[in-house]
Structure 1
Amino acid sequence: MDRLHAMQVFVAVARGEGFAAAARQMGLSPPAVTRAVAALEDHIGTRLFSRTTRNVALTEAGHRYLADVERILQELADAESAAQGQHASPRGLLTITAPVMFGRLYIMPILLDFLDQHPDVSGRLLLLDRVTNLLEEGMDLALRIGHLGDSSMAAIRVGAVRSVICASPGYLKRHGVPRYPADLERHRVIVATGSLGSHEWRFGDDDRLTIRIQPSLTCNSNAAVLQAVEQGWGVSRLLSYQVGPSVTAGRIRLVLEEFERNPLPVHLVHLEGRRASAKVRAFIDFAARRLRDDPVINPQPGLAAG
């Protein structure tokens, strides 16, 4: 069995969601595709696909294997390009992960412009509100918000975001502007579940001031919390990048700014210990410039956009 060829066939079947589609893509006969996948499954000792008369789907083992195989094939392509003196030219599939709202607002526009400038690169953007394992999940790089722990990854700081208290002008006109964190006890508070969703909110550079929050509304979507704040229903704590466009447009006001916690750093991270490919280096340079020029990602004290 030509294992490299079988791996390429496997990826074509997985991405094309069928043996016939993979056969057309690779210029092979359907029986040849079937034999290649069967030989690979025999070699590994497990089923990679669940087959029915109507569709083909990856098994759990198949999903894990696909991420590893795509990474291996890309590394092989990068190695061949380097040997041919082409490593400086970005090419291949670039896989990026970012938090949902940050990815939609900031990474997607940057990625689209990057792909326009580099036609030999294709993109894959995964928006996830969780920390991913780049190696295990086959990612090239990630946008991370918050302090990074010790790891083997290379990190490039591109800015910082603030944890802000916000409400609509209409709500503040009806209910008054909180002057001190303790004033929040008299307001309708909307809480986003997750890292900012604790019912104890800390304030100040040293986090020593703690206020116990009794939420009137809890929601697992930051976008939905932002919608409720814009509609004047209550006050909430979100990250400055999440509310930046709304603040700029005047739909939201920031309050208690003098009591804010220290900003959270924003990094682009990628795997260290192996040379970054041209596509990763090129995207990091491209994205870092854009993010560092954004006043929301690099806020100044008192900046209206948060």
Structure 2
Amino acid sequence: MDRLQTLEMFVAVADRGGFAAAAKAQNVSPPTVTRAISALEERLGVSLFHRSTRAVALTDDGASFLPRARQILADIQDAERRVSGAQSEPRGQFYVTAPVMFGRLHVLPVIAAMLEQYAQLDVRMMLIDRNVRMVEEGIDVAVRIGPLADSSLLAVPIGFVRKKLVASPAYLARHGHPEKPSDLSRHQTIGTTGPRAMGEWRLDDKRVKTEPRLLLNTMDATVAAAEAGLGIANLLSYQVEEPIRQGKLIEVLEPVDPQLLPVNLLFESARRSLPATRIFIDAMKDRAMDQGLTRLGGA
């Protein structure tokens, strides 16, 4: 068995937490995977996994080796794709990640159109409200909202969004409209957990402490809770554009924050020339313009 196959099996065992699951994913027998990992450990002179009858877990050496193994496989895949990238039509696997709601509303329609047009293209979408490690996860393009950390990744800006405080007409009819940020202390607020979790809201360059009675872990649920009249929610413009248009939500304290949050597409420089990357970026630019994200603050 060659070293590339061995590395693929090592990563598969680490990802799936077992030899049998890895064997199924690699379409080989469990003993084949077991022998391959044993041979790899013997060659490296270390143990890569703790083995028990119930579970398989990475050792410290295995955890240290895993990102390097992923990088090797990603580099080989990238080299193969760069060669085939001389062709104008995208093919093979394309990996993209985005925040959940933004991905559902804006990335999925672009991906659907690409799949319809390019029969040899397969796409893996990871919709998650946190930043994933692009190199380790083999991501081609990531959608990021907000300020970017310094990195070697390339960034293409496609638009902006802004914060909005919203509540349902029924809630405001019962509790009234806040006229200034300090009025929020007498209102029910809806909070979020995860990346945008906060114990205070920034409003007009001031920070207002909030003590939400309801905490939710997804933006979809937060929008639904606001529509149900459970309080005032702090969301992003693209998340509430449709409910506001339909009259289900009303913006209060407009504008609550003059800061615009950029929407960027991130990718490694090596992936810039790949047909799928180029086509996806161009399509996302067009969609952002069509949906008003290129106007100041979006919707």
**TM-score interval w.r.t. the shorter chain?**
0.7 to 0.9
- Alignment of 1:73 with 2:71, yes or no, is no
Match of 1:243 in 2: 240
**Residues 89/17 of structure 1: CA separation in 2 closer, same or farther (3 Å cut):** farther
For residue 226 of structure 1, the aligned residue among 195, 199, 223 is 223
Matched residue, 1:287: 284
Helix, strand or coil: the match of 1:144? strand
Query: Residues of 2 paired with 1:136 and 1:12: CA distance?
Result: 14
**After the TM superposition, which of the residue ranges 101-110 and 65-74 deviates more from structure 2?**
65-74
Q: Secondary structure at the match of 2:142?
A: strand
Q: Is 1:196–1:237's contact at 8 Å kept on the other side of the alignment?
A: no
1:178 CA drift (Å): 1.6
Q: RMSD of aligned C-alpha atoms?
A: 3.3
Matched residue, 1:182: 182
Assess if the C-alpha contact under 8 Å between 1:188 and 1:234 holds in 2.
yes
**Shift, 1:231, TM fit:** 0.4
- The equivalent residue for 1:124 is 124
Partner of 2:156: 156
CA distance in 1, matches of 2:245, 2:44: 56
Aligned length: 291
- Report the alpha carbon displacement of residue 47 of structure 1 after superposing the two structures with TM: 6.1
Q: Compare 147-156 and 99-108 and name the one that shifted more.
A: 99-108
SS class of match (2:136): coil
- State how far apart, in whole Å, the 2-side matches of 1:123 and 1:44 are: 34
Shift of 1:147: 1.3
CA deviation map 1:265-289 (0-9, x unaligned): 1000111367542222222122222
Matched, 1:213 2:217: no
1:74 corresponds to which letter in structure 2? Answer: Q
The answer as to 2:215 corresponding to 1:197 is no
Question: Quick one: structure 1 residues 23 and 34, their matched pair in 2 at CA, closer, same or farther if it must change by over 3 Å?
Answer: farther
CA contact (8 A) 1:100 1:127 kept: yes
| CA deviation vs aligned residue, 1:43-96 (integer Å, no higher than 9, x gap) | 44556678899x9978574864663354133113124325xx43x332221111
Evaluate the alpha carbon distance shift between residue 100 and residue 113 of structure 1 in structure 2; reply closer, same or farther with a 3 A threshold: same
Change (3 A) 1:69 1:49: farther
Question: In structure 2, what residue type is equivalent to 1:103?
Answer: G
Q: Note the C-alpha offset of 1:9.
A: 6.5
Preserved contact between residue 163 and residue 256 of structure 2 (Cα < 8 Å): no
Question: Paired residue for 2:97?
Answer: 97
Alignment partner, residue 171 of structure 2: 171
SS in 2 for 1:166: strand
- In structure 2, the CA distance between the partners of 1:144 and 1:231, relative to structure 1 (3 Å rule), is same
Structure 2 distance, partners of 1:244, 1:118, is 31
Deviation at 1:119, TM superposition (A): 2.0
Distance 1:11 1:149 in 2: 28
- How many Å separate the matches in 1 of 2:57 and 2:108? 28
Question: Is this contact kept in 1: 2:4–2:73, CA < 8 A?
Answer: no
Q: TM-score, normalised by structure 2?
A: 0.81
Cα deviation code 1:214-260 (max 9, x no counterpart): 32323333222222111011111111112122112221111111343
* C-alpha separation in 1, matches of 2:70 and 2:272: 19
SS in 1 for 2:267: strand
Contact 2:169/2:249, CA 8 A, preserved across alignment: yes
Contact 2:9 2:22 in 1 (8 A): no
Question: Which residue is 2:141 aligned to?
Answer: 141
Shift of residue 154 of structure 1?
A: 0.9
Farther-moved stretch of structure 1 (260-269 vs 283-292): 283-292
Query: Which blocks of at least 5 consecutive residues in structure 1 are unaligned?
Result: none
String of CA shifts for 1:127-159, please: whole Å, max 9, x gaps.
222222212332111100001132211111111
**Matched residue, 1:111:** 111
Counterpart CA distance in 2 for 1:158 and 1:2 is: 43
Is the 2:164–2:255 Cα contact (8 Å) retained in structure 1? no
Query: Helix, strand or coil: the match of 1:131?
Result: coil
Residue in structure 2 matched with residue 269 of structure 1 by the alignment: 266
Identity of aligned residues (%): 39
Q: For 2:259 and 2:208, how far apart are their aligned partners in 1?
A: 17
Deviation at 1:187, TM superposition (A): 1.2
